[in-house]
Structure 1
Amino acid sequence: MEKYKFNKEKLEFVEVRRGVKWWCRKIFQYLLASILLAILYYCIFALVVSTDAERKLAKENEVMAEEYEKLRQKLEVLDNTVSNLKLKDREIYRSIFNADPLIVSLIDQSSPLLENIDTTKDEMIVSKSRQMLELMQESASDVQAVFEDINEECKYLGKSVDHIPSIVPLKDFSVGQTGASVGKKINPFYKTVVEHDGMDLLGAVGTDVLASADGVVVESVRSKRGRGNSVTIDHKNGYMTTYSHLGDILVRKGKSVGRGEVIGRIGLSGMSFAPHLHYCVTYNGKVVDPRNYFFADITPEQFREIIAISSNTGQSLD
């Protein structure tokens, strides 16, 4: 539609001619409106309508998330399994074979994947995770092979392994019966810090006390002082164990005893603050920590609890 303007000089309407600027401005307005409308249509389409490619990508993301979770669970189970095996391995090597344990490296903590995990592509993470899972499975097999070798060595050693203290010397022991272990502890009578040379195992009067390994009774003492009624067993391999503050003594000097055999019962003899067994282990005449000689009788989890409780117990019972 043409545009007219009143000319006061000629007293008539004249046609207004549109210049280049007007046309450029008009074209720009149309282009801008078209672009904005296109963006609006695209946003609505993208939010409401999914393409086949998008649906495929969404499905792949779901599968990848499930794969991540499965890998995480497998890694966690394997890591716990290998950790428990390594703990048992250390106990056996240090307590029995007096050798350094086998060190198994599961994952290189300086791996570029771990250092740059935030910028690593998903495909690379999945690939590397699978590789780490395979490495952990191989490591678990290696540790299992070590235990098989130990088993063969034990068979070769024969009965000598039965002479190594390896069980908790109380019948039906629970972690809650753990008391103070070797180290500087507060004496309950004098309230002074003294060296505690054994481990206190709490129990009711009359609880069965067991021999922790095969051996021969070399001392059977009845006393109302010091350690009270006590039994000492020589295991004929450098190890000796002493069981103190007994109520009843059921073995005599010179008697051969087997692992797990009842040798006495918990009492309150000697300077005992409460009914308990004072259990002492020596190797070649030197006091060693009895906690390291329960490995055949407890799980790694129980071992960690025993360590925590006994380490945080500052007062002994004798």
Structure 2
Amino acid sequence: MKKIKYYYNTNTLRYEKLESPLRVKLLRIFGFIAAALVTAALISYFAFQFVGSPNEKLLRMQNAGLRDNYRDLDDQLQELEKQLKELEKRDNNVYRAIFEANPIPDSARAKELEMEQEMRTVTSMNNNQLYASINQTINTLRSRIKAQQGSYKEIDELIRNKEQLLAHTPAIQPVSNQDLSRIASGFGYRIDPVYKTPKMHAGLDFAAPQGTPIYATANGTVSLAGNAGNGYGNHVIINHGYGYETLYGHMVRVKARVGQQVKRGEVIGWVGSTGKSTGPHCHYEVHKNGNKIDPVYFFYNDLSPEQFDRLLKQAAASNQSFD
């Protein structure tokens, strides 16, 4: 029930019913609404300023989680960066140095990111910027890893080529000589056994009983097998590739055949005294790019340093050759 208000009218000396004009009623309603809106706005402002809405709290938590995750990823990327730098350094300074290959220039690898600068600016980045930064770092690492993989592939080829080179390089003595007693004449000027004058002796003479096996000193292809009438008698020449060639002279019998692929240590014939020879022996020569070089430096595969030093002294002795 609506409450009715009265007031005392001094003019009529009577109590009369109090009625407010419409204008006053409207002003009261407007004032109330305005006060309510202002109060609500103030409450909302202070609430959102210091407390925050549930959505804002959730977004802030998610944003903080993203930044923590980014820092974790950034730490991992820096660790990967450090490991990749070590691989690149080892690649240039160790692996390629071993195989005498040119190092990869830095321009061939992707430029490094300035990680410290990124860490200083990360706090001002939004999520899209954080994503772009991480994506750029990952793409850079992928580029460098791809370049490094290409480098290791090239090194792998160098290793295979090096293995082939080592297998095709003369590295053992052509006859069994464990006690080092069979070097009869070395490389250099020696007394010719027939003409008794100094003459260049372009190989090593290994004195051995007739029929002693003669071995190929490296892998290669037989290019000559037989007697060519040049003083070597029955002899074998093996082309090893990479500029190397070896000759084995004065055999009593030849086993190898022209065009045959031989392996290091394979028997290619037997010691004899055919051709210009004064006794059973194996005349052994090593050629490099067509030049005759001292074979004594190609026995590193089956001699200790002490044995090699002893062999050098025997080969350097000035004496008469067998051919």
Paired residue for 2:313, among 268, 292, 308?
A: 308
Match of 2:36 in 1: none
Structure 2: gaps spanning 5 or more residues = 1-98, 101-157
> What amino acid is aligned across from residue 242 of structure 2 in structure 1?
N
- CA contact 1:223–1:269 (8 Å) conserved in 2: no
Divergent runs of 4+, >3 A: 153-156
CA distance in 2 between counterparts of 1:206 and 1:279 reads 16
Match of 1:190 in 2: 195
CA distance in 1 between counterparts of 2:197 and 2:161 reads 48
> What amino acid is aligned across from residue 261 of structure 1 in structure 2?
E
CA distance in 2 between counterparts of 1:313 and 1:269 reads 24
Match of 1:214 in 2: 219
String of CA shifts for 1:257-291, please: whole Å, max 9, x gaps.
00000000000101111111000001001111100
SS state at 1:166 partner: coil
Matches within 5 A, 1:139-218: 157-218=162-223
> What amino acid is aligned across from residue 293 of structure 1 in structure 2?
F
Size of the aligned set, in residue pairs, is 169
SS state at 1:291 partner: helix
- CA contact 1:223–1:270 (8 Å) conserved in 2: no
Structure 1: gaps spanning 5 or more residues = 1-96, 99-152
Match of 1:271 in 2: 276
State the structure with more CA Rg.
Answer: 2
Paired residue for 1:281, among 281, 286, 292?
A: 286
Q: Normalized against structure 1, the TM-score is what?
A: 0.50
Matches within 5 A, 1:231-310: 231-310=236-315
> What amino acid is aligned across from residue 230 of structure 1 in structure 2?
H
Match of 1:105 in 2: none
Identify if the C-alpha distance between structure 1 residues 223 and 297 changes in structure 2 by more than 3 Å, giving closer, same or farther: same
Shift of 1:160: 2.5
Identify if the C-alpha distance between structure 1 residues 269 and 300 changes in structure 2 by more than 3 Å, giving closer, same or farther: same
- CA contact 1:200–1:278 (8 Å) conserved in 2: yes
Match of 2:9 in 1: none
Q: Normalized against structure 2, the TM-score is what?
A: 0.50
> What amino acid is aligned across from residue 163 of structure 1 in structure 2?
H
Identify if the C-alpha distance between structure 1 residues 225 and 300 changes in structure 2 by more than 3 Å, giving closer, same or farther: same
Shift of 1:203: 0.6
CA distance in 2 between counterparts of 1:177 and 1:226 reads 21
- CA contact 1:225–1:269 (8 Å) conserved in 2: no
String of CA shifts for 1:195-239, please: whole Å, max 9, x gaps.
111111111100000000000000112267611100000001100
String of CA shifts for 1:110-147, please: whole Å, max 9, x gaps.
xxxxxxxxxxxxxxxxxxxxxxxxxxxxxxxxxxxxxx
Match of 1:12 in 2: none
- CA contact 2:226–2:234 (8 Å) conserved in 1: yes
CA distance in 1 between counterparts of 2:161 and 2:223 reads 28
String of CA shifts for 1:74-122, please: whole Å, max 9, x gaps.
xxxxxxxxxxxxxxxxxxxxxxx99xxxxxxxxxxxxxxxxxxxxxxxx
- CA contact 1:224–1:269 (8 Å) conserved in 2: no
SS state at 1:160 partner: helix
